[in-house]
Structure 1
């Protein structure tokens, strides 16, 4: 069997199916590879076997070879252990970012090269171009589906070896292409949420690894108003799952998480979606990853996202000597969350990103944020 020119990561979903179809239609020598990143834990919530069958069916329909690799050990060590450590520390990690860096564009790329391929391809909504001798990561044309946020840890060597065949399409057009090509996945629903949790309750899943420790729920003034099952089950801005009934002297309005004191096991809440306790104007990041290998300047203006699908937010960036960033926004930002990713953009170009370390949100400063602007 001859070596493929491109190995497509076939996930069993419609996006990767159309990515493979597009490359076949371009006349490339294509093979598909299915990655199993999570071992079935017997819960009945793991969809890997169903997804694998769909991936096999797609490759059969396209007449391309199918390959399988089990990366569950690599995923556990490179992604899941970090995920648990961050939650235990009271932060909110983004496993999709680590999965792309540690598995899909490392172990998958290595596996494709072992098969003799020159390049890999995935069904991400993003685009790659070369300009001025450097590879650039651009947003997907369908802004509502753009996944460059999750790909910001990629570098020059990875982008040089990667194709994003569907990055120029919008979702409705992609579904039409899949339907007309009679791909077995043309009507399959998009997967949502964290892949290894599936459809099960997040708190129930996390409780298997981080035993619950009940504690008090306080308002920002320190008044005890309820109890919680564990601070690490909650993230800033969250409304669901608080189970706070009527509180004497307070209006009948929803409560939102505005802070966590992990050491004292206290969860802080306030009423109002846009509570001032959720607002910040500034953040400091951990060490920044630049896709080009270097920042555009020591100080510059750009736009940023601090969460997926957030509108572009104008900001000013100061690059510190240790590689971390100070970022100041032109208007207050809601629920900027340590552990999540800050991703910077120059128009459609993704410059790179970093983990958010701290902000100037009022409660975070009161609880002893490690840094200040």
Structure 2
């Protein structure tokens, strides 16, 4: 049995003392090791496999069939029970419908953010509680703790492994959700997770990480969107002088900062290679009313740089907004270094963020997430 091995990483996890925790098992190495470590810490572990997409559930893009086989194998190896649940209706109504609305409006949403708040930590949590669970757990790289300052609130933390940190995608979680959640991988590096899985005899130790849209999988994205949002061709123009450079298939399929897939080439001014005549074009703006996609030439064009931005649909982990005069850091997209910023004003469900250094390709629909050191404060949607 895998639990015969002792893994010192488990010592940082809250002891279970026989209490029940329901672990979201995806069939990957992260959730499998999360379940393993929780069992070692004395939790009664129950696995739950969520099926949330049914429109074209085939092996080419959506691996749920193989993932379920892996989950059942892992559960048998760990000696735990597994329940399979179907949240396809909830996913389509709460996540995918909003995903399509945002793209249809010319914005670029992040479905993983909404998927976490509405499915993995709402529908999943609600169902787990009906099974008598004290807590739920996932294989996310993030942390949770009670505020050491004594406020009694629960804080969301960055993971120790900065290269895998997923707190950005979890910033909409509230106090009720976080107070019931365990993140067993909070202080463990990914390379150690795979070593633990291998030492425990879990066959998923070398399984490739899943990518692509939450629960839908990795697939040709433009082709996928075209099934739901038909093409609406329009002009591609240079922002600086309104020259028509080409045509696009629809605003839906383009995002701010995009370089590839424009099919308009580079500048040819006859001044030689040193002049940068083939400098790349980037999407800089969208005129939704006229269906015009505006582009600029050069990565550091001023139109791609912003010192301030507005966010709405605010969601604060603590249940209230941070102090507006303090300096924080923020990410305006995942895989971005933290950038120093301040909240200049909060007006109901909207606020303004002012950055010390200009931010590149700020994109409406993406999330701007604020941090105070390792603590994730929350954030909102860029407008």
- Could you tell me the TM-score, scaled by structure 2's length? 0.90
What are the equivalent positions in structure 2 for 1:275-314 lying under 5 Å apart? 275-314=301-340
| Alignment size in residue pairs | 355
In the alignment, structure 1 residue 160 sits paired with structure 2 residue 179: yes
Map of 2:56 onto structure 1: 41
In structure 1, the partner of 2:160 is 141
1:13 shift after superposition: 0.7
- Segment of structure 1 superposing worse, 238-247 or 9-18: 238-247
- Report the 3-state secondary structure (helix = DSSP H, G, I; strand = E; otherwise coil) of the residue aligned with 1:269: strand
The CA distance in 2 between the partners of 1:269 and 1:58, in whole Å, is 49
Determine whether 1:128 maps to 2:144.
Answer: yes
1:109 aligns with 2:125: yes
**What are the residue-to-residue correspondences of 1:219-230 with 2, within 5 Å?**
219-220=238-239, 221-230=241-250
Structure 2 match to 1:369: none
Deviations 1:229-265 (A, max 9, x none): 1111011111111112355548222211111112211
Deviations 1:71-124 (A, max 9, x none): 011000000000000001000001000000100111100110111111100000
User: C-alpha separation between the residues in 2 aligned to 1:126 and 1:101?
Assistant: 15
| Distance in 1 of aligned mates of 2:250 and 2:350 | 31
Counterpart-to-counterpart distance in 1, 2:115 and 2:322 = 27
Matched, 1:339 2:359: no
Please give the alpha-carbon distance, in whole angstroms, between the structure 2 residues aligned to 1:141 and 1:122.
Answer: 16
Residues 15-54 of structure 1 mapped to structure 2, 5 A cutoff: 15-41=30-56, 44-54=60-70
1:80 aligns with 2:99: no
Q: Partner of 1:266 in structure 2?
A: 292
Distance 1:337 1:245 in 2: 23
Residue 75 of structure 2, aligned match among 55, 59, 62: 59
For residues 245 and 313 of structure 1, the distance between their equivalents in structure 2, rounded to whole angstroms, comes to 32
Distance 1:248 1:225 in 2: 13
Work out whether residues 310 and 382 of structure 2, in 8 Å CA contact, stay in contact via their aligned partners in 1. yes
1:276 Cα offset (Å): 1.4
- Distance change (3 Å), C-alpha of 1:208 and 1:40: closer
Matching of residue 320 in structure 1 with residue 346 in structure 2: yes
Matched residues in 1 for 2:354 and 2:288: separation? Answer: 26
Q: Determine whether 1:351 maps to 2:377.
A: yes
Distance 1:276 1:53 in 2: 51
Which secondary structure state, in structure 2, belongs to the residue aligned with residue 145 of structure 1? Answer: coil
**What is the root-mean-square deviation of aligned Cα atoms in Å?**
1.5
Pairwise CA distance, 1:322: 1.2
Query: Alignment partner of 1:111: what SS?
Result: helix
Partner of 1:365: none
User: What CA deviation, in whole Å up to 9, does each residue of 1:151-174 have, x standing for no partner?
Assistant: 000111111100000111011111
What CA distance in whole angstroms lies between the structure 1 residues aligned with 2:298 and 2:268? Answer: 17
* Paired position in structure 2 for 1:238: 258
Mapped partners of 2:216, 2:322: distance in 1: 38
Q: 1:337 to 1:246 in 2, by over 3 A?
A: closer
- Structure 1: runs of 5 or more not aligned: 358-373
**Distance (Å, rounded) in 1 between the aligned partners of 2:297 and 2:316:** 38
Which stretch shifts more, 63-72 or 42-51?
A: 42-51
In the superposition, the TM-score normalised over structure 1's length comes to 0.92
SS for the counterpart of 1:211 is coil
Q: Write the distance in 1 (CA, Å) between the matches of 2:231 and 2:347.
A: 40
- SS of residue in 2 equivalent to 1:144: coil
Residue in 2 aligned with 1:180? 199
Q: CA shift at 1:4, angstroms?
A: 6.5
Assess if the C-alpha contact under 8 Å between 1:342 and 1:354 holds in 2: yes
Would the aligned equivalents of 2:265 and 2:280 in 1 still touch at CA under 8 Å? no
- Following the alignment from structure 1 to structure 2, what is the Cα–Cα distance between the partners of residues 196 and 36? 8
